[in-house]
Structure 1
Amino acid sequence: MNISYESLLLGMLIGGLAMRLFSAKRAAADSISLNREIAHLATEKKVLEEQLVSFKKHVDELSAQNKLQFENLANQIIENKSKSFTEYTEKTLESMLKPFKEKITNFEKSVEDKYSSEARERHALKSEILRLISLNDRMSEETNSLARALRGDSKVQGDWGEMVLSKILEASGLREGEDYITQSSHKNEEGDRLRPDVIINLPDEKHVVVDAKVSLKAYDLHHSSTEDVQKEKCLSEHIRSIDKHINELSEKHYDKLKGLSSPEIVFMFVPIEPAYLLAMHADADLSMRAWKKGVAIVTATTLLTSLKTVASIWRLERQNKNAQEIAQEGARLYDKFVGFLEDFEKIGHIFETGSKQFSQAMGKLKDGPGNVFRKMELLRELGASPNKKIRQDLLE
């Protein structure tokens, strides 16, 4: 089959045109598809950009909220703990210091009162000593004048002797009802009831009995008599009267009375000292005879001196008691102070424990690879834009 060269060339031209046309159509189609893809990608890019902006904004808000919440929470915890601890500390210190302060105040007042009382007593003792001489002289004058009025009446003489004894007791500094008791009733071993004039109380629950005995009739006759024989007779009668009183007191056995702890000695008070001195001058053994029978004869001077000694003993006893009370109060105060120190140490331990707990809590926030401080800082590094920044030393 003979095909001409022109026909072949024409066919090739037509085929080439057809191929080019096909390629052009296909390229156009591809271009449209590519433009669509580009438009789609541009849309996705815009959406992603909007999402990124929104995400950054959200991160900023979240960072600010977390930081604010963290600060509020930390401040609240610290404030609550601090307030609670402060209140507890104040209450604890107040509860401990209040009784301690009261103890110190009471102790100071007790010491001040006791020493003020002792100072007053020393001044009073000095005044009493100065009054002793004048009192003795005055009583001697009174007894001499009253002796003349009382002669012959034994009952009145006895009452007068008790009255003089009462004055001496008042002047001695002893306290009635505490340091001495008058006219108290006691039973002896036989059941008889006796009533001593005065019972002097001594420390350690000991007692001394004082009875007033007056012998005036023979003594007054001795002074009023002008004849020596009559004087000697009256003097002997005066001594016998004193001996009679000695025997009467000795036979009463006051040392055996129930409820008393008395030595085997009773004080026989002779109100008129010259009468006793006269008898002693005439009979030197009078005092020794009385002593052997358990009777000690005393006059206004010797009795007042003895009672002053007893008052001094009681004063020393009260001072010793005060010293013991001060020592006991001091010991209680010392114990209270030791207790306060122990409680104060407990408060120190509480402070120390609170400091350790704070350090541990802070360590949990800022220590370790995944600590809260680092995570919060990561938010800022990812794009969050806070107004403040965590200090660098807390991040290290």
Structure 2
Amino acid sequence: ERKFLEATREKTSLRIELEQPHNLTQHLSHDAHNLSTALKGQSKVQGDWGEHQLETLLEKSGLQKGVHFLTQTTFRNEDGAAKRPDFIIQLPENKQLVVDSKVSLTAFERYFNTADPQEKEQHLKAHVSSLRSHVDNLSRTNYQTLYQINTPDYLLLFVPLEGALSLASQADPGLFTDALERNIVLVSNSSLLATLRTVSHIWKQEKQAKSVLEIARQSGLLYDKFVAFVDDLRTIGARLDNARMAYDDAMHKLTNASRPGDTLIGKAEKIKELGAKATKSLPQDLLLAEIGELNNQEQG
């Protein structure tokens, strides 16, 4: 029975080990399939794939959807026309950074799938032209002029496939500078990731700074309350001292007189001795003190 259990465990362990590479292969195949579909798909398919890549990159950078970035938010310009940037990255101090995802994969895919030099050149020109068209279209949106968005003068144009942007920039060295003149910054996965990591770090620093300020604020409130508490204690102490002085004055009037027996204590006891009907007695210590005074007077 023991050997049977050990053999079963070994088979199970082996099956798990064999399944891990298989699962990884399935995951990689799924990503490759998505890219292949995007390369061969229509503009809508390519656009959806690019936006998905951008959103994944944002989340991998530690940014939260709905907190650090917004998607497909509609704004209106001064003329009332609707404007909908793909992504708006929130920055501290109520500032925003606009990122639009533009995918140009059709000509790029055809460029690599042909061996004919003339066709390659034709598809390469079409690929560069497509990217330049995206730059022109994005520059005309004037997202940075929307009064609801406090953004820098430039917009980020995200090209989700590193090789697509690299190939275009090699074929057209002026692509980046021409885009910059239109206040457009072309970014791919690696360059945008560096920017997003910086944004994520800024948010962490902002959170830490707010925490420090909140600690300072709470500490100030605590100190102020402590000072108020000390002041209250001193006030109570002063009132207790005054009460003690008033008590001592009252007791002095109660137990002192020019002659023993003429104190209020002594006179009250004389009334009782004369037959006053009383159910209570004065404290013994006061009576003893009164008797002591009388004895001292008699001895004197």
The TM-score, its normalising length taken from structure 1, stands at 0.57
Residue from 37, 42, 52 that aligns with 1:149: 37
- Structure 2 unaligned segments of length 5 or more: list them: 1-26, 271-283
Task: Output one character per residue of 1:124-146: Cα deviation in whole Å (capped at 9) or x when no partner.
Answer: xxxxxxxxxxxxxxx99876653
Residue from 59, 64, 87 that aligns with 1:175: 64
Residue from 250, 258, 262 that aligns with 1:369: 258
Superposed counterparts of 1:330-345, under 5 Å: 330-345=219-234
Aligned residue in 2 for 1:127: none
Give, as a single letter, the amino acid of the residue that structure 1 aligns with 2:193: L
Aligned residue in 1 for 2:190: 301
> Judging changes above 3 Å, is the alpha-carbon distance between structure 1 residues 189 and 141 closer, same or farther for their aligned structure 2 residues?
farther
Aligned residue in 2 for 1:226: 115
Tell me how far 1:308 sits from its aligned partner: 2.3
Aligned residue in 1 for 2:79: 190
Percentage of identical aligned residues: 35
Task: Output one character per residue of 1:231-278: Cα deviation in whole Å (capped at 9) or x when no partner.
Answer: 233222211111111111011110112411122211111110111112
Aligned residue in 1 for 2:281: none
Q: In 2, distance between residues paired with 1:181 and 1:369?
A: 93
- Structure 1 unaligned segments of length 5 or more: list them: 1-138, 381-385
Aligned residue in 1 for 2:173: 284
Residue from 225, 236, 243 that aligns with 1:354: 243
Aligned with 2:247: secondary structure?
A: helix
Tell me how far 1:302 sits from its aligned partner: 2.0
Aligned with 2:89: secondary structure?
A: strand
Aligned residue in 2 for 1:255: 144
Q: In 1, distance between residues paired with 2:29 and 2:162?
A: 11
Give, as a single letter, the amino acid of the residue that structure 1 aligns with 2:212: A
Tell me how far 1:204 sits from its aligned partner: 1.8
> Judging changes above 3 Å, is the alpha-carbon distance between structure 1 residues 373 and 153 closer, same or farther for their aligned structure 2 residues?
same
Larger radius of gyration: 1
Superposed counterparts of 1:1-396, under 5 Å: 145-150=33-38, 151-370=40-259, 376=266, 389-390=288-289
Q: In 1, distance between residues paired with 2:240 and 2:76?
A: 72
Q: In 2, distance between residues paired with 1:169 and 1:364?
A: 86
Aligned with 1:226: secondary structure?
A: coil
Aligned pairs, number:
253
Q: Is the Cα contact below 8 Å between 1:270 and 1:299 reproduced in 2?
A: yes
> Judging changes above 3 Å, is the alpha-carbon distance between structure 1 residues 361 and 141 closer, same or farther for their aligned structure 2 residues?
same
Q: Is the Cα contact below 8 Å between 1:172 and 1:311 reproduced in 2?
A: yes
Q: In 2, distance between residues paired with 1:141 and 1:277?
A: 24
Q: Is the Cα contact below 8 Å between 1:290 and 1:297 reproduced in 2?
A: yes
Q: Is the Cα contact below 8 Å between 2:260 and 2:293 reproduced in 1?
A: no
Give, as a single letter, the amino acid of the residue that structure 1 aligns with 2:206: E
> Judging changes above 3 Å, is the alpha-carbon distance between structure 1 residues 376 and 275 closer, same or farther for their aligned structure 2 residues?
same
Q: Is the Cα contact below 8 Å between 1:366 and 1:372 reproduced in 2?
A: no
Q: Is the Cα contact below 8 Å between 1:210 and 1:268 reproduced in 2?
A: yes
Q: Which has the higher contact order (CA 8 A, sep 6+)?
A: 1
Give, as a single letter, the amino acid of the residue that structure 2 aligns with 1:304: L
Q: In 2, distance between residues paired with 1:155 and 1:216?
A: 12
> Judging changes above 3 Å, is the alpha-carbon distance between structure 1 residues 372 and 267 closer, same or farther for their aligned structure 2 residues?
farther
Q: Is the Cα contact below 8 Å between 1:365 and 1:372 reproduced in 2?
A: no
Aligned with 2:93: secondary structure?
A: helix
Q: Is the Cα contact below 8 Å between 1:264 and 1:294 reproduced in 2?
A: yes
